[in-house]
Structure 1
């Protein structure tokens, strides 16, 4: 049984947009913060561009790259908390508004840069063929 391309595109768009919204807002202490608009609206714009231009595969790689950045932030925070800070002192990144804002915008920036790089790489590869 074959799945229509339009259904496949709709599912991919929903999955990627959800992954961007969740990953981009992971550092926000309050999910109703106005800063949540960056990954939600920005992610929607990037997903719409990818769907319109046929670059959903490249967007998938970019979303994976953004989640690797989320993982690196989590591991880095844990290492700093265990090895650098005094014993018993826990300092979550999301507790600081400045760090949450920089992190949210930074994660969205990682997504944009990765998407542009993967799209450029695919365009160069297609031009060589």
Structure 2
């Protein structure tokens, strides 16, 4: 049994928007911060564009790229905590001043740049998905 295209699109939009909102706000120490609007509204705009222009496949790759950036930040923070900071001192990345706005906007910028790159790559290949 296959799903209708409209239902598939709605599910993809919901999943991508949730993944962007969660990944983009990972650096916010306070989940009620006004900065949470950056990934929610910005991600919503990117998802809306992708849904209107049939760019959900490139958006999926862009969301994956954004999550790779989140993973790189996490691993980088862990490496700094283990090898640079004194023994026993753990400094979460979100506690540093200025990291939350820079990181939140930066992760959205990674998403937008990756989405633009995958859209361009798809157009160069004649409309087929990235491989």
In the superposition, the TM-score normalised over structure 2's length comes to 0.95
Deviation, 1:96, is 2.2
Q: Name the stretch that deviates more: 91-100 or 26-35.
A: 91-100
Q: Please, what is the CA RMSD of the aligned residues?
A: 0.9
In the superposition, the TM-score normalised over structure 1's length comes to 0.96
CA distance in 2, matches of 1:97, 1:109: 20
Which of structure 1's runs of 4+ aligned residues deviate more than 2 A?
A: none
CA distance in 2, matches of 1:122, 1:82: 41
Partner of 1:94: 94
CA distance in 2, matches of 1:3, 1:56: 16
- The structure where helix makes up a greater share of residues is 1
Partner of 2:50: 50
Unmatched 5+ residue regions in structure 2? none
Partner of 2:71: 71
Q: What SS class does the counterpart of residue 87 from structure 1 fall into?
A: coil
